[in-house]
Amino acid sequence: MAHLPPPTLESCRALDAADPLAPLRAQFRLPPDLIYLDGNSLGAMPQAAASQVQRALEQEWGQGLIRSWNDAGWIHRAQAVGDAIAPLVGAGAGELTVADSTSINLHKVLWAAMALGQQRAPQRQVLLTERDNFPTDRYIAQGLCDQFGWTIREVAPIPASAERPVPQELLDALAAPDVGLLLLTHVNYRTGAMHDMAALNRLAHAAGVITVWDLAHSTGAVPVNLKEPGAEADFAVGCGYKFLNGGPGAPAFVWVHPGHVNAVEQPLRGWFGHAAPFEFDAGYRPAAGIARYTCGTPPILSLTALQAGVQTLGAASPWGGMAALRAKSLSLTRTFIAASAATARAHGLQLVTPMEDSRRGSQVSWGCGPQAPDGYTVMRALIARGVVGDFRASPRPGEPDILRFGFAPLYNTHVEAWDAAQALGEELQRASSARAAGAALVARSAVT
**Residue numbers annotated as active site:** 134, 214, 241-242, 404
Torsion of CA 286, 296, 253, 158, to 10 degrees: -90
Site string for its own copies, 384-423 (x = CB under 8 A): ----x-x-xx-xx---------------------------
Should residue 438 be labelled a site residue for its own copies when binding is judged by CB under 8 A? no
Q: Give, as one character, the DSSP assignment of residue 218.
A: T
- For its own copies, the closer of residues 107 and 257 by Cβ is 107
Alpha helix ranges (H) inside 185-287: 197-206
Total number of residues that touch its own copies (CB under 8 A): 79
- For its own copies, the closer of residues 294 and 353 by Cβ is 294
Asked whether the beta carbons of 210 and 116 are under 8 A apart, the reply is yes
Residue type, 129: T
Should residue 301 be labelled a site residue for its own copies when binding is judged by CB under 8 A? yes
Give the number of other Cβ atoms within 10 Å of residue 26's Cβ. Answer: 11
Asked whether the beta carbons of 410 and 325 are under 8 A apart, the reply is yes
In whole angstroms, how close is the CB of 128 to its own copies at the nearest point?
16
- For its own copies, the closer of residues 259 and 296 by Cβ is 296
Strand-pair category, 363-368 with 401-406: antiparallel
In whole angstroms, how close is the CB of 81 to its own copies at the nearest point?
13
Q: Which of 80, 87, 208, 271 binds its own copies (CB under 8 A)?
A: 271
Choices 34-42, 197-205, 318-326, 420-428 (CB under 8 A): range interacting with its own copies? 34-42
Should residue 67 be labelled a site residue for its own copies when binding is judged by CB under 8 A? yes
Hey, which residues between 216 and 255 contact its own copies (CB under 8 A)? 241, 247-252
Give me the count of residues in the chain.
448
Element (H, E) at 281: none
Give the number of other Cβ atoms within 10 Å of residue 208's Cβ. Answer: 14
Q: Which of 383, 386, 422, 430 binds its own copies (CB under 8 A)?
A: 383
Among residues 290, 381, 295, which one has the least CA distance to residue 79? 290
Should residue 42 be labelled a site residue for its own copies when binding is judged by CB under 8 A? yes
Should residue 142 be labelled a site residue for its own copies when binding is judged by CB under 8 A? yes
Choices 83-91, 196-204, 266-274, 337-345 (CB under 8 A): range interacting with its own copies? 266-274
Task: Name the phi and psi angles at 151, rounded to 5.
Answer: -120, 140
- For its own copies, the closer of residues 14 and 275 by Cβ is 275
Should residue 299 be labelled a site residue for its own copies when binding is judged by CB under 8 A? yes
What single string gives the DSSP state of each residue in 131-172?
Answer: TTS-HHHHHHHHHHHHHHT-EEEEE-PPP--SSS-S-HHHHH
CA-CA distance, 123 to 106, in Å (whole number)? 23
Hey, which residues between 2 and 31 contact its own copies (CB under 8 A)? 29, 31
In whole angstroms, how close is the CB of 163 to its own copies at the nearest point?
31
- For its own copies, the closer of residues 54 and 317 by Cβ is 54
Should residue 63 be labelled a site residue for its own copies when binding is judged by CB under 8 A? yes
Among residues 370, 353, 371, which one has the least CA distance to residue 362? 353
Hey, which residues between 100 and 139 contact its own copies (CB under 8 A)? 100-104, 107, 131, 134-136, 138-139
Task: List, in order, residues 6 or more apart from 387 with CB less than 8 Å away.
Answer: 35, 37, 419, 420, 423, 424
State the number of CA atoms in the 13 A half-sphere of 171 facing the CB.
10
Alpha-carbon separation of residue 44 from 101, 110, 409 (angstroms): 19, 30, 12
Q: Which of 24, 35, 96, 140 binds its own copies (CB under 8 A)?
A: 140
In whole angstroms, how close is the CB of 66 to its own copies at the nearest point?
5
In whole angstroms, how close is the CB of 106 to its own copies at the nearest point?
9
Site string for its own copies, 84-103 (x = CB under 8 A): ----------------xxxx
